[in-house]
Structure 1
């Protein structure tokens, strides 16, 4: 099978969000999955800061981690670990995400940005929260 066809199919899928950013955290690629999950069109998101989808109270922590990855090229979330975080939909509601990141490097091996693959796990997160509430209520 042609690997470029596989790559195109993944990048243009609406199942998961695939977002690429430059070294400064500005969006350079926003696939149909990102449109579905976050509600912003590709035109609205491209060129914008990731603050577009990061809750205000988490931005400082996010940017500290982002800068560390840009500086070191290392992140446990680029080697298979999944990060679970809240995010913002265009309409203002909070959603729950799980994601991984992949550093993008130039020909000289310098990091030029990141690609993130994100999945909306809001329904599962809410279901777990309700089950915990029921278990706590039953234990009382």
Structure 2
């Protein structure tokens, strides 16, 4: 027996941020987890550029890749988990991990990209502190 899945409900209640952007990079879907993660309400995010959460120093690289993907209809990140910096509404830095998938119309025209995002800021900081501590211990041992 196959149960019908309410995809709107799924996106609304999932713990990871789900963001969809159109071919031009404007946000067309922003779930509650994205609000918790980035601080922007759905109303503030919808229709805005993805620049809303992309650090300024990374925007050129992001948009080069985004435009190539929209032109070619292919992404080299389809099965990879990407780890990059992001920004919160209050200006603080976040470390996020996400996967992306291309979205198509029933006519198979590329319509946008969906990203499923997890906040890894705490884990990233813990890893960085552990690496720093390990380096300090290695210096002590070799001295």
Deviation readout 1:3-51 (Å, 9 max, x if unpaired) = 423x234300251100011100000000001001000000000000000
| Number of the residue aligned with 1:8 | 8
| Number of the residue aligned with 1:105 | 104
| Number of the residue aligned with 1:134 | 133
Aligned residues: 138
Gaps of 5+ in 1: none
C-alpha deviation, 1:107, in angstroms: 2.0
Alignment of 1:1-140 (within 5 A): 2-5=3-6, 7-13=7-13, 15-78=15-78, 80-140=79-139
Please list every run of at least 4 consecutive aligned residues from structure 1 whose deviation after the TM superposition is greater than 6 angstroms. none
Q: TM-score normalised to the size of structure 1?
A: 0.94
Bigger Rg over Cα: 2
Q: TM-score normalised to the size of structure 2?
A: 0.92
Deviation readout 1:103-138 (Å, 9 max, x if unpaired) = 111122111111110000111100100000001111
Q: Which deviates the most, 40-49 or 11-20?
A: 11-20
